[in-house]
């Protein structure tokens, strides 16, 4: 049976998931679309020629018999409400990151899901679906480089707009590393520190850029992440794992090796949307497959909660300059 | 409307396309399966839990109202018969390579299709769907390296079995280059020569291995292709284009950069099936999309015919040792 | 006129310089050799068939008319005495690193040299002579990557013996980075912090390994240096400079690219002596040329002093865990 | 004893060797300089402040008691005369490539040297001294890639002037490969073929560019060398050896890895003089050391003769378009 999917939030990312489910993936189709602006929803339905109903009330969509599972791509602050509503209805829900805008809200979702007794929530962190990160994790898990001791990472954007504030380096940018590195290491953070290098002249006055986040894990692994959102030269994600026996690195995106004008070169992407484009497809296919099998395998609510707690600590560290402890409860067996 | 697909030939590659259409791709489903051995067909249907009929006669399958388009993955010598039958019925058909086992048979398909008046045939050459080759072609077409003057290519397999004969270096191995390089260069071959380097001690007694094919195109571009099917170290496809202004190269498959045991290294694939695995998905999705839009974009029958003619010349050159001319008619406007 | 060189200290490194001056370099020859063990001196003279006198007293060697310039390769604690003696005699002196074992001793050398009124001392830091570092500095100085903001460095040895203690990670290992990065950036350190990642199981019980040193410069550049002396896989020196406009990296040592056994690979050196072997030659040739022209260009006493001061701060930071300020006087015009 | 060297030919390359012997290398000094234009000789002597006599007659220089060994860097057509003269006098002689301008002349030198009974001649082919080629040969000789079966090579220059004619692609350019590949493989050529790809629009009207030389060796190894002297993008020397078990490649010259302007890149040299600059030093030092020890190890007259014979065959192949046999006598034991 083809899975019937209802989408809440028909903005850019919502439309992207609609297109993906209708034109690229297997096993699901969009049957209902909601947006706070009903014309936006209607327009998305027309744009992709989807045989779907525009539903004015998101909770009606969630409860609809024509909807087997829900995709939440609305404004961040509304995530908690819709995800909790889906859990209450007993429906599977894919929620774009962040799971919720505060650690407490994430925790409420975790609690509701555990109370329900079955995993229903997949959080839209796509990096664990990136073939590069998967290959890197396979190397780590193989034992080939021994136990990880240090990670040297970088998250670089060519530039950001006025809207981007110093704390967004954590909540919007580092949040991806906070999620994926925990998954990569099968480990938890215990402290965070943020240091500010010399500011680049390419950043706007209100923004501290670059920044370096220093994280420590329960196993003692030390992580440094350079966050540099006006690096000019490209969108570049780096991750190097130094283990007891060797070093493994995230592969570079594939590019044509060129020799021209006195240089050997390979292009670097400049648009973040292209970097993980394959991962988005695999992520959503995995959600659809998981729902159809009754068993989700993707990023769970607990991992969304942990990322939120770590982000809070990093934001505190931005201000205090001190080493901020991160105190996470043990991961419930429910999420094992 | 979901496209109803009938499969003729339920061996390994047929099953792979069944799995692909049912579990990975969008817009199509398998409704009928035929195999010369009906138990093989039935077993494939069960294996993927497909809601499809086992049809005993392939021509009945082609004419069935429950089949919108046909996928031919049967034994090579049967391709001509089934493709011609599909054209006669006016149905779209995806035919695994080779389009037919002789150039004459390919030509008969071309003639039938042109007589029908609309493109119905897509040949299963998957390399033009490989993201690496597409990126390489984009560089060539951009003019960044100027007009291509020379191509240095290699097609290497770790090893081959007893069944593999010297001419198969052309008909089974080089055939992929013969197709994809013509597409890459938008050019036609005019001559072929084959030279035999010192034979590797790793090859069986009956096989000349390695071989080097030298091709010349209508525009004067010179191509050398090393064919080495017992290279031991991996499955490795190389393509370097030397242009008037610079050089572009086929990207290596993505791999995790490692530092361990006194070496920096990246893994090389050893199984050819993994090398173009993504390309197979894109290829078949493009066929499904093309059929639904009534307009195929993939490798056409004429390109299958050209590859067959060039392969014949290379096989002749293997024996004669001479430079063998390749005489192709101009590509009909029908295939423009 | 060929320069007459006297060597004090005929151990491994002293012998290496003797061989170098006699067999590889131009413009100098060894005329006198001293060692605390006169038999060692005599043996070195015999080994390289040098026409040189074994001199029992180092100060006699320094004052000898048969010695134009002195090479000090004796035990570290004796460096100060011999360098000061050479300055007193008004002779040029090449002193292996460290210039002296304490910052205060280095300062006394600086003061003596300034009092003498002419540069006489070159310190044996060879990295600024490494073609890779020189090329990297040329890129930085060209402005191509804009002002440096961050440096990510690593100093990795395959393994160390029992003698190697936790503070030697600073005084023996990091000392090279402390010197070369200051030169690379034309900047001064203002603070140091040391953090301890999870300890590798490959290190002996008494040793904290790996360590990460965090440095801040007067211009605000932030430097992280991974020090990992039991990394197993090789001797590996990394230096990446993140600038406002781009990133430049220390080149890898040249190695033959191989494809074999399912991997693309290049060898990593395992012996530190090979890594900078070319740099030692260039360094000593520059000393000889500098002496003959009466004008030294290599690492001066002030840079040796600065490295010593920074090392002291790092050792303090190892113990305290805190950010330790580094307070350097402005570089005297004498050393500009 | 310092070796007394006499130079015949004080043009660019002669001056370069004078500078090298005086300022960089160990164990030799220039004592006499001759040039067909005595003012050129005098000017070279002044330029490097050499304590050397300008000798008007080259044969007088060769016989002079103040000259232990001769460096011949005069015009190619004069090489034979001066090398034979040196042999007659029983003096060691370093002769820049070509050893002589015809194979017959080379043969006369070989015969004279064998008659003399001791190796006296080193030919100025510097590539066997390049650390990259040496490392490549070490890999081949280690057996790691098994017996060589094929070589894919390229010799590319950014551009050439009007003086450069089609046959110079062999006599001036390919000659280096003809020499170094024979050394690399410890093998002899048995045939040559030249094919002409589409001509680049960047070449002058009179010049066929690029060209591809196809060589076969006595062991059956097949070599293809692309010669492309208007490739625009840089001076680029490629050599890939395909063996029975794996592939080894000439290392790229070291360059700083950059990330900037949406590309990862490394500079390619554009000036051929920089490419093998280190090799020239090692080559001449080896000549000096060899003379002092009475035993030359560098490229011998026989290898110069073989390169000349192979070049003749390639030039014949340029015109005939056919496969031209190369018939070399077995290498005399004298040169083993």
* Domain boundaries, given as residue ranges, for chain D: 3-127+278-300, 130-270+320-327
Distance CA A263, CA B2 (A): 49
- Coil vs helix vs strand at D231: coil
Which residue in chain A is spatially nearest to C242 when comparing CA positions? A231
C233 touches chain B (CB under 8 A): yes
- Nearest-Cα distance to chain C for A335, in Å, is 26
Q: Is the dihedral of CA B143, B146, B150, B155 positive or negative?
A: negative
List chain D residues with CB under 8 Å of B221: 197-198
> Which of A106-115, B270-279, C208-217 is predicted least confidently?
B270-279
pLDDT digits (tens, 9 = 90+) for A259-272: 999 999 999 999 99
User: What is the pLDDT of chain A when averaged over all its residues?
Assistant: 97
- Coil vs helix vs strand at A10: coil
User: To the nearest 10°, the Cα dihedral for C266, C267, C272, C277?
Assistant: -70
How high is the pLDDT of residue C42?
A: 96
- Nearest-Cα distance to chain A for C224, in Å, is 9
List chains touching B (3+ CB pairs under 8 A): A, C, D
pLDDT digits (tens, 9 = 90+) for A169-221: 999 999 999 999 999 999 999 999 999 999 999 999 999 999 999 999 999 99
Residues 6+ apart with CB under 8 A from C183: C128, C137, C299, C303
How high is the pLDDT of residue A252?
A: 98
User: What does each C-alpha distance from B6 to B50, B72, D98 come to in angstroms?
Assistant: 12, 9, 70
Which residue in chain B is spatially nearest to A264 when comparing CA positions? B247
Across the interface, whether the CB atoms of B233 and D246 are under 8 A apart is answered yes
- Nearest-Cα distance to chain D for A232, in Å, is 7
List chain B residues with CB under 8 Å of D221: 197-198
D141 touches chain C (CB under 8 A): no
B49 touches chain A (CB under 8 A): no
Can you count the helices (H) and strands (E) in chain D?
A: 11, 15
List chains touching D (3+ CB pairs under 8 A): A, B, C
How high is the pLDDT of residue D204?
A: 97
C28-34, strands of its sheet edge to edge: C53-54, C28-34, C3-8, C69-72, C92-96, C121-124
Q: What's the mean pLDDT in A129-142?
A: 98
C233 touches chain A (CB under 8 A): yes
Higher confidence at residue C50 or residue D249? D249
Q: Are C257 and C169 in contact (CB under 8 A)?
A: no
List chain C residues with CB under 8 Å of D249: 256-258
Residue C226 burial (C-beta neighbours within 10 Å; 0-12, 13-18, 19+): buried
pLDDT at B1 over 80: no
Across the interface, whether the CB atoms of A214 and C231 are under 8 A apart is answered no
User: What is the pLDDT of chain D when averaged over all its residues?
Assistant: 97
Q: What's the mean pLDDT in C80-85?
A: 98
C209 touches chain B (CB under 8 A): no
Percent of chain B with pLDDT over 70: 100
List all residues of chain D from 248 to 277 with a beta carbon under 8 Å from chain A.
252, 255, 259-270
Distance CA A136, CA A156 (A): 19
What's this model's pTM, rounded to 2 decimal places? 0.96
List chain C residues with CB under 8 Å of D260: 144-145, 245-247
Q: What's the mean pLDDT in D45-52?
A: 92
List chain C residues with CB under 8 Å of D131: 254
- Nearest-Cα distance to chain B for D232, in Å, is 6
Task: Name the strand (E) or helix (H) holding B109.
Answer: helix B103-116
Prior bond of A210 cis (ω within 30°): yes
B236 pLDDT tier (thresholds 50, 70, 90): very high
- Coil vs helix vs strand at B180: helix
How high is the pLDDT of residue D325?
A: 98
Distance CA B264, CA B258 (A): 6
Distance CA A119, CA A93 (A): 10
pLDDT digits (tens, 9 = 90+) for C299-312: 999 999 999 999 99
User: What is the pLDDT of chain C when averaged over all its residues?
Assistant: 97
Q: Are A55 and A61 in contact (CB under 8 A)?
A: yes
Percent of chain C with pLDDT over 90: 98
Tokens of D187: 């093998």
Percent of chain D with pLDDT over 90: 98
List chain D residues with CB under 8 Å of A261: 233
Selecting from D136, D256, D260 the residue whose C-beta is nearest the C-beta of C245 gives D260
Question: Looking at this predicted complex, what is its ipTM?
Answer: 0.95
User: What does each C-alpha distance from C200 to A116, B144, D26, D127 come to in angstroms?
Assistant: 43, 49, 46, 44
- Nearest-Cα distance to chain A for D32, in Å, is 41
Name the phi and psi angles at C270, rounded to 5.
-115, -15
Q: How far is CA B312 from the centre of its chain?
A: 16
List chain C residues with CB under 8 Å of B265: 263-266
pLDDT at A1 over 80: no
Across the interface, whether the CB atoms of B236 and C252 are under 8 A apart is answered no
Q: Are D182 and D303 in contact (CB under 8 A)?
A: yes
How high is the pLDDT of residue A306?
A: 98
Cα three-residue angle C93-C98-C103, rounded to 5 degrees: 105
Which residue in chain B is spatially nearest to D244 when comparing CA positions? B200
A85 pLDDT tier (thresholds 50, 70, 90): very high
Q: What's the mean pLDDT in B28-45?
A: 96
Give B258's strand partners: A248, B265
What DSSP line would sit under B246-313, residue for residue? EEEEPPPPP---EEETTEEEEE----HHHHTHHHHHHHHHHHHHHHHHT---S--HHHHHHHHHHHHH
How high is the pLDDT of residue B336?
A: 86
Q: What's the mean pLDDT in C182-204?
A: 98
Tell me the helix, strand and coil percentages in chain C, rounded to 5: 40, 25, 35
pLDDT at C49 over 90: no
Across the interface, whether the CB atoms of C260 and D247 are under 8 A apart is answered yes
List chain B residues with CB under 8 Å of A134: none
A56 touches chain B (CB under 8 A): no
pLDDT at D179 over 80: yes
Q: How many CB contacts within 8 angstroms connect chain A with chain C?
A: 93
Distance CA B267, CA B255 (A): 6
Would you tell me the crossing angle of helices C79-89 and C103-116 to the nearest 10 degrees? 0
- Catalogue the E-assigned strands of chain D: 3-8, 28-34, 53-54, 69-72, 92-96, 121-124, 148-156, 189-195, 211-217, 222-228, 236-243, 246-249, 258-260, 263-267, 324-325
Cite the DSSP H helix spans in A117-197: 131-142, 168, 175-185
Selecting from A262, A268, A270 the residue whose C-beta is nearest the C-beta of D234 gives A262
- Nearest-Cα distance to chain C for D248, in Å, is 5
pLDDT at C274 over 90: yes
- Nearest-Cα distance to chain D for B244, in Å, is 6
Say if A3-127+278-300 and A130-270+320-327 have the same CATH topology: no
Across the interface, whether the CB atoms of A247 and B258 are under 8 A apart is answered yes
Across the interface, whether the CB atoms of D262 and A265 are under 8 A apart is answered no
Q: Are D125 and D103 in contact (CB under 8 A)?
A: no
B60 pLDDT tier (thresholds 50, 70, 90): very high
A197 touches chain C (CB under 8 A): yes
User: What is the pLDDT of chain B when averaged over all its residues?
Assistant: 97
- Nearest-Cα distance to chain D for A329, in Å, is 41
Which residue in chain A is spatially nearest to B285 when comparing CA positions? A24
The CATH number of B3-127+278-300 is 3.40.50.720
Q: What's the mean pLDDT in B153-163?
A: 97
List chain A residues with CB under 8 Å of D260: 232-233
- Nearest-Cα distance to chain B for A208, in Å, is 32
Distance CA C47, CA A73 (A): 78
pLDDT digits (tens, 9 = 90+) for B273-293: 899 999 999 999 999 999 999
Distance CA D304, CA A317 (A): 71
Q: Are D225 and B244 in contact (CB under 8 A)?
A: no
Classify strands A148-156 and A222-228 as parallel, antiparallel or unpaired: parallel
Selecting from C197, C201, C242 the residue whose C-beta is nearest the C-beta of A150 gives C197
HEC string of C193-221 equals EEECCCCCCCCCCCCCCCEEEEEEECCCC
C1 pLDDT tier (thresholds 50, 70, 90): confident
Which residue in chain B is spatially nearest to C158 when comparing CA positions? B262
Selecting from C145, C256, C289 the residue whose C-beta is nearest the C-beta of D136 gives C256
Closest to C198 in 3D by CA, of A314, A138, A187? A187
Q: What's the mean pLDDT in B106-121?
A: 98
Q: What's the mean pLDDT in D117-145?
A: 97
List chain D residues with CB under 8 Å of B232: 244-246
How high is the pLDDT of residue A49?
A: 86
Q: Which of D159, D255, D262, D275 to mutate to test the interface with A (most CBs of A within 10 A)?
A: D262
Give B265's strand partners: B258, C265
Selecting from C27, C139, C253 the residue whose C-beta is nearest the C-beta of D258 gives C139
List chains touching A (3+ CB pairs under 8 A): B, C, D
Selecting from A27, A136, A247 the residue whose C-beta is nearest the C-beta of B259 gives A247
How high is the pLDDT of residue D49?
A: 85
Tokens of C271: 């012996």
What superfamily would CATH give domain D130-270+320-327?
A: Dihydrodipicolinate Reductase; domain 2 (3.30.360.10)
Across the interface, whether the CB atoms of B222 and D197 are under 8 A apart is answered yes
Region of C322 on the Ramachandran plot (φ > 0 left; ψ -120 to 50 alpha; else beta): beta
Residues counted in chain B = 336
Q: Which residue has the tokens 């350097």?
A: C328
How high is the pLDDT of residue C336?
A: 86
- Coil vs helix vs strand at D239: strand
- Nearest-Cα distance to chain A for C196, in Å, is 8
Q: Are C238 and A249 in contact (CB under 8 A)?
A: no
Across the interface, whether the CB atoms of C262 and B265 are under 8 A apart is answered no
Across the interface, whether the CB atoms of A261 and B254 are under 8 A apart is answered no
């Amino acid at each position: 049976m083809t899975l019937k999917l209802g989408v809440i939030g028909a903005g850019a990312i919502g439309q992207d998931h609609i297109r993906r489910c209708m034109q690229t993936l297997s096993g699901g189709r969009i049957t209902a679309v909601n947006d706070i602006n009903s014309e936006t929803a209607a327009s998305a339905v027309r744009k992709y020629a989807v045989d779907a109903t525009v539903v004015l009330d998101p909770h009606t969509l969630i409860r609809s018999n024509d909807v087997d599972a829900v995709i939440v791509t609305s404004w961040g602050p509304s995530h908690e409400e819709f995800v909790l509503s889906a859990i209450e209805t007993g429906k599977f829900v894919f929620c774009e990151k962040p799971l919720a805008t505060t650690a407490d809200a994430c925790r409420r979702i975790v609690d509701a899901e555990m109370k329900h007794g079955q995993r229903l929530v997949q959080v839209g962190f796509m990096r664990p679906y990136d073939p590069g990160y998967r290959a890197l994790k396979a190397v780590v898990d193989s034992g080939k480089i021994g136990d990880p001791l240090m990670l040297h990472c970088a998250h670089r954007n060519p530039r950001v707009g006025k809207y981007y504030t110093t704390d967004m380096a954590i909540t919007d940018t580092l949040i991806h590393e906070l999620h994926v590195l925990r998954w990569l290491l099968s480990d938890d953070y215990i402290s965070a520190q943020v240091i500010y290098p010399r500011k680049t002249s390419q950043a706007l006055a209100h923004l501290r850029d670059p920044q370096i986040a220093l994280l420590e894990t329960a196993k003692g692994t030390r992580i440094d992440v350079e966050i540099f959102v006006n690096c000019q030269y490209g969108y570049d994600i780096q991750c190097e794992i130094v283990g007891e026996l060797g070093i493994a690195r995230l592969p570079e995106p594939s590019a044509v090796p060129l020799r021209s004008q006195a240089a050997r070169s390979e292009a670097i992407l400049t648009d973040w949307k292209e970097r993980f484009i394959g991962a988005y497809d695999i992520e959503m296919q995995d959600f659809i497959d998981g729902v159809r099998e009754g068993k989700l395998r993707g990023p769970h609510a607990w991992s969304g909660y942990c990322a939120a707690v770590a982000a809070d600590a990093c934001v505190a560290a931005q201000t205090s300059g001190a080493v901020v402890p991160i105190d996470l409860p043990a991961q419930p067996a429910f999420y094992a």
